Amino acid sequence: MSMTTPIVDFVRSYAKSGTSRLHMPGHKGQKLLGFEDADITEIKGADELYEAEGIIAESEANATKLFGTAHTYYSTEGSSQCIRAMLCLALQAAPAGQRPVLLAARNAHKALLYAAALLDFDIEWLWPAPEAAGALCSCPVTAGQLEQALERLSGQGRTPFGVYVTSPDYLGGMQDIAALSKVCDAHGVPLLVDNAHGAYLNFLVGGSKHPMALGAAMCCDSGHKTLPVLTGGAYLHLSLKAPVQDETAVRNALALFGSTSPSYLILQSLDRCNRYLSEGYPLRLYSCCGQLTRLRRVLNEAAAAAGSKLLLAVDDPAREPLKLTLDAAALGLTGTALAEALRKYAIECEYADPRYVVLMFTPENPAQDYDRLEEAVAAVCAALPGVPECPEPEGDTFTALAAEAGPVCSVRAAVFAPQQTIPAAEALGRVCAMPTVSCPPAIPIVVSGERVSPAAIELFARYHVETVAVIRE
């Protein structure tokens, strides 16, 4: 099944027409970088992203069919725009007569905090169980844990307007979306999923593992993270469970957080991706997953030959298949040190922290990328000074953080308060203002409106957070 590409076709036709461009943008189609002739604005026939009824609507309909959703909408400003719009829509169905509250897993991207500041809602956090804690990017939530949290809020006379989880997370961990969705359905609460890293999950041979196929009410995908889409290209997916179905309301929510000048380059890449996905992509994805399975085995064999007692390549069928997560502790290294060693072999990772290195593959990676990584890891193993020592168990700092964390004021009040930036080591007892974490992973250790605790100070040092924005005293 081959998909139409109405946006691409229109822009190409316009570029070839020789029309005098007496409209924006200012480059007038003249090639300074080489792609300007394909960069247009909302001229006649080009449709409008937030009032789509022509070629954009047709292209989104193609995406809707591919993802099997009730409706899929385009974003040209990443999943961040979709997250804010998704929460805005969920808020429209929030229980009346109470301050709105969202139940969310703690490893949320800072886009959630920005949404809370702009939309003015509170967040009740779901923390990992003590035995599952230990990484900033991870926060596994069980169905039983979610059930208890919802019952606890109900006992307080509070009903959240949504449950929000990140899946997959930055390390490749995936929530049990099917189980969580059943709990949410039983309580009449929509499940909202930040699926920024998992757009491809709908196309796995053997069955979709996409949140929309597993029962989520709404989710966002960053097309550009795992599909051949330009940076900024993303999807907002709605199921029939979504609390708002009205198309105008959805587009208005997206427009509220989006530019009035959406990129037609990004729209074309989303449009063209539809055809790419319809023309044998599942088989290419299957092949890529197979190559990564082999690569994990080879890397783990190399680490074992060097004397490691730990798996170097994290290998778990419950994890998403396209992320290759390396546990640098298997080699007696930190994640940042291993990432720096790989750079010497012309390999740039997606993310590195004190323990892990994350490498992201797609079917677009050439064979040389697999070979280069295999050779680089072999060289790193050969250069080790001796048998890698197993790391000492880390203190239960994340469990301590969960016990110490608590709001002093709302996220909105903290974000818009007068603030100053101070050294993180001097922030004990101060109230966090704007989250000052870089991307990746853009996951705050301390949330806006929380007081900086001793555990937070320890984690700042571990994750090399040097400064913190706090409310001015």
Residue 454 has pLDDT above 80, yes or no: yes
**pLDDT tens digit string along 364-379?**
999 999 999 999 999 9
Q: Report pLDDT for 1.
A: 59
Specify the domain boundaries for CATH 3.90.1150.10 within the chain. Answer: 282-382
Residue 134 has pLDDT above 80, yes or no: no
Place of tokens 């929509």: 190
Q: Report pLDDT for 101.
A: 98
Q: Report pLDDT for 88.
A: 98
Q: Report pLDDT for 345.
A: 96
Overall size of the chain counted in residues: 473
- In angstroms, rounded to a whole number, what is the distance separating the alpha carbons of residues 29 and 251? 29
CA distances from 20 to 23, 37, 125, 237, 362 (A): 9, 12, 55, 38, 40
Q: Report pLDDT for 92.
A: 96
CATH domain 282-382 topology = Aspartate Aminotransferase, domain 1 (3.90.1150)
Helix (H) / strand (E) element for 268: namely helix 264-278
**pLDDT tens digit string along 70-129?**
999 999 999 999 999 999 999 999 999 999 999 999 999 999 999 999 999 999 999 988
Mean pLDDT of the chain, nearest integer: 95
What does the pLDDT average to over 334-356? 95
> Which superfamily does 397-471 belong to?
Orn/Lys/Arg decarboxylase, C-terminal domain (3.90.100.10)
Confidence category of residue 398, pLDDT binned at 50, 70, 90: confident
**pLDDT tens digit string along 223-257?**
999 999 999 999 999 999 999 999 999 999 999 99
What does the pLDDT average to over 327-338? 94
Q: Report pLDDT for 414.
A: 97
CATH domain 6-278 topology = Aspartate Aminotransferase; domain 2 (3.40.640)
Q: Do the strands 234-238 and 191-194 form a parallel or antiparallel pair, or are they unpaired?
A: unpaired
Q: Report pLDDT for 138.
A: 92
Specify the domain boundaries for CATH 3.40.640.10 within the chain. Answer: 6-278
